[in-house]
Chains A and B, each alone.
Chain A
Amino acid sequence: MSRVIVASVGYTKVGDHWDKSILDLAVEASKKALKPHPNIKPDTIIVGNMFSSQSARQEHLGALLASALNLVGTPAFKVEAACASGGVAFNVGYHLVRSGEAASVLVVGVEKMRDLDVAETSLALTMAESAEYTQFIGATFLSLNAMLARLYQETYNVTRDELSAFPVIAHQNAATAEHAQFRKAISVEDVSRSPLVSDPLRLLDCAPIGDGAAAVLLTSDKLVEEDDEVEVLSSKISTNVFSLYERDDMLTFSATKEAARKAFSEAGIGVEDVDVLEIHDAFSVTAALSVEAMGFSKPGEGAKDASAGVYSLKGRYPALTFGGLKGRGNPAGATGLYQIAELWLQLKGRGGLNQVEDCRIGLAQNIGGVDTTSVVTVLARR
């Protein structure tokens, strides 16, 4: 077994890239990731993406990117797990290097969402849920999370302002993050004043639609030698009963819980050892349920802890340090790789105004569907 290093990262800004295609974005991020190590040609290319078939009528993204990067002959394929596509693609790349099968793997997450109109994007995102029973009756991914938010608030007596804490943290950090989609802080009043999109969720509870690509070059420790290397300690995936409403306990993100348990176990760490978190804040309520499932907060207290400052940049568990899904953005299949890239920046001390002091261990949690797939990754600075 090799030790696996995150050798370099590359990413585009997240936003409305009207002038860039899905391949343009993927190539841009890939080149940035490959540039610091010009002598390394990846043994495998993995593309994480959720719905290129809808947004671009394009599949076969692995070979498409390999060919575009002039890496003809390189094994390449796409990995899809809804919004966890990026994290899961990373997981596969990690295991390829770890097993010794590959000495280096380029993992690229990319999504073009803006080429579809909002109603079509909504449908595309809801492919993460049942076509026959969720999509059929007109329930969107947003509506499921809204129903979850209502249940969460009712069950644990969570106030509107407490629920707004994660979006506020996200925007606070995104304001000083160069690659973030939204560079403006918001207040809890702003969240309360934003229009209802699916009550109780308001516009500012929800991660935006945007385009972007993020790439990570993974290598074995024999290929790259440097100080302060960022090593992958573990990456684990778990899945849940498919649709939210099919679960006995809708308020426990059991896929995240299990993935985190396995990731902590393999990494030989506990919750208290984590210095920086990139969690899946697709909606305010998902951020809260994610930290609860992983054990950073007790059940029902995720939003309250966020409100109390636990997850702020200077808090006990700094989260969403460059804005998370809400502030940095959520190009679905790319998000998981943005999370890795951001942890890499933090662990390498390149966080700039967003730097978390003395961080040695970082955790990324990326989900698809409403915690239907969860991938939890632990990185450490050696």
Chain B
Amino acid sequence: MAISYWRRRDRYYRLLGNKCTNCSSEYYPPVYICRRCGSESLVDVEMPKTGQIVTYTVLREVMAGFEGQQPLVLGIIRLDNGVKVLGQIVDTPPEALKIGSRVKMVFRKIREEGEAGQIYYGYKFTILQGKTTF
């Protein structure tokens, strides 16, 4: 896990996806071949950090490694460039958790390998409420 995490940390820290230089389609997670036009000419590009909730759920049964983090709020977010990403939604009052709510990306801990292992960081989302961003 430590090494596969290290390999992708830029993707996790900066929401770094890629973009087809031929047809301008953008992707997160990044692709090997453009799904729209088939081109292999792709460049890394950061996704926009804001978007809106397409759908969400509050997960009460977490998987191994996430013990103590339930319930986990998860959502599929359509970023401002149209790309949909999966992420946790944190620090959000229940009444603000709805389809269409605007969210922004935040940098948070994903999990730790116990007390002595590594800490894994990555992106999550939180609600944008008027001027207030948490």
**Which A residues fall within an 8 A CB radius of B?**
117-120, 122-123, 126, 130-140, 142-144, 146-148, 150-151, 154, 195-201, 241, 243-246, 250
Q: B56's contact among A126, A138, A147, by CB below 8 Å, is which?
A: A147
**Which B residues fall within an 8 A CB radius of A?**
4-5, 8, 11-12, 27, 29, 35, 54-67, 69, 72, 74-76, 84-88, 99, 110-111, 120, 122, 124
A137 touches B63 (CB 8 A): no
B4 touches A198 (CB 8 A): no
Collect the chain A residues with CB atoms within 8 Å of residue B5's CB.
136
B61 touches A140 (CB 8 A): yes
B61 touches A246 (CB 8 A): no
Q: Measured between alpha carbons, how far is A199 from B58 in the docked complex, in Å?
A: 6
Q: Measured between alpha carbons, how far is A250 from B77 in the docked complex, in Å?
A: 13
Within the complex, the shortest CB–CB distance from B3 to chain A, in Å, comes to 12
Within the complex, the shortest CB–CB distance from A245 to chain B, in Å, comes to 5
B74 touches A123 (CB 8 A): no
B58 touches A123 (CB 8 A): no
Q: Measured between alpha carbons, how far is A242 from B69 in the docked complex, in Å?
A: 27
Contact A134 B63, CB 8 Å, known A147-B57, A150-B55, A241-B35? no
Task: Report the nearest B residue to A148, measured CB to CB.
Answer: B55
Indicate the member of B27, B29, B85 with the most A CB atoms within 10 Å.
B29
B59 touches A142 (CB 8 A): yes
Q: Measured between alpha carbons, how far is A3 from B50 in the docked complex, in Å?
A: 56
A-B contact pairs, 19 of them (CB 8 A): A119-B64, A136-B120, A137-B74, A137-B122, A137-B124, A138-B72, A140-B63, A142-B61, A143-B57, A144-B86, A146-B59, A147-B55, A147-B75, A197-B60, A198-B59, A243-B29, A245-B84, A245-B85, A250-B76
B54 touches A151 (CB 8 A): yes
Collect the chain B residues with CB atoms within 8 Å of residue A241's CB.
35
Q: Measured between alpha carbons, how far is A127 from B35 in the docked complex, in Å?
A: 23
Q: B86's contact among A150, A195, A197, A243, by CB below 8 Å, is which?
A: A243
Within the complex, the shortest CB–CB distance from A241 to chain B, in Å, comes to 7
Collect the chain B residues with CB atoms within 8 Å of residue A131's CB.
4
Collect the chain B residues with CB atoms within 8 Å of residue A137's CB.
74, 86-88, 110, 122, 124
Q: Measured between alpha carbons, how far is A78 from B98 in the docked complex, in Å?
A: 43
Q: Measured between alpha carbons, how far is A143 from B8 in the docked complex, in Å?
A: 23
- The prevalent SS among residues of B at the interface is strand
Collect the chain B residues with CB atoms within 8 Å of residue A122's CB.
61-64
B74 touches A147 (CB 8 A): yes
Q: B67's contact among A119, A132, A154, A195, by CB below 8 Å, is which?
A: A119
Extra pairs beyond A136-B122, A147-B56, A246-B29 (14, CB < 8 Å): A123-B64, A126-B63, A132-B4, A133-B29, A135-B63, A137-B74, A138-B110, A139-B72, A146-B57, A150-B57, A198-B59, A201-B57, A245-B86, A250-B76
Q: Measured between alpha carbons, how far is A187 from B55 in the docked complex, in Å?
A: 27
Contact A133 B110, CB 8 Å, known A147-B55, A198-B58? no
B55 touches A246 (CB 8 A): no
Task: Report the nearest A residue to B12, measured CB to CB.
Answer: A136
- The prevalent SS among residues of A at the interface is helix
Indicate the member of A119, A139, A241, A244 with the most B CB atoms within 10 Å.
A139
Indicate the member of B27, B59, B65 with the most A CB atoms within 10 Å.
B59
Task: Report the nearest A residue to B7, measured CB to CB.
Answer: A132
Q: Measured between alpha carbons, how far is A196 from B58 in the docked complex, in Å?
A: 9
Collect the chain B residues with CB atoms within 8 Å of residue A151's CB.
54-55, 99
Q: A119's contact among B63, B86, B110, B122, by CB below 8 Å, is which?
A: B63
Task: Report the nearest B residue to A147, measured CB to CB.
Answer: B55
B62 touches A138 (CB 8 A): yes
Task: Report the nearest B residue to A132, measured CB to CB.
Answer: B8
Collect the chain B residues with CB atoms within 8 Å of residue A135's CB.
63
Indicate the member of B29, B56, B61, B87 with the most A CB atoms within 10 Å.
B61
Q: Measured between alpha carbons, how far is A204 from B110 in the docked complex, in Å?
A: 30
Collect the chain A residues with CB atoms within 8 Å of residue B75's CB.
147
A134 touches B64 (CB 8 A): no
Collect the chain A residues with CB atoms within 8 Å of residue B66's CB.
119, 138
Collect the chain B residues with CB atoms within 8 Å of residue A200's CB.
57
Task: Report the nearest B residue to A122, measured CB to CB.
Answer: B63
Collect the chain A residues with CB atoms within 8 Å of residue B56's CB.
147, 150
Q: A139's contact among B11, B60, B74, by CB below 8 Å, is which?
A: B74
Collect the chain B residues with CB atoms within 8 Å of residue A150's CB.
55-57, 99
Task: Report the nearest A residue to B111, measured CB to CB.
Answer: A138
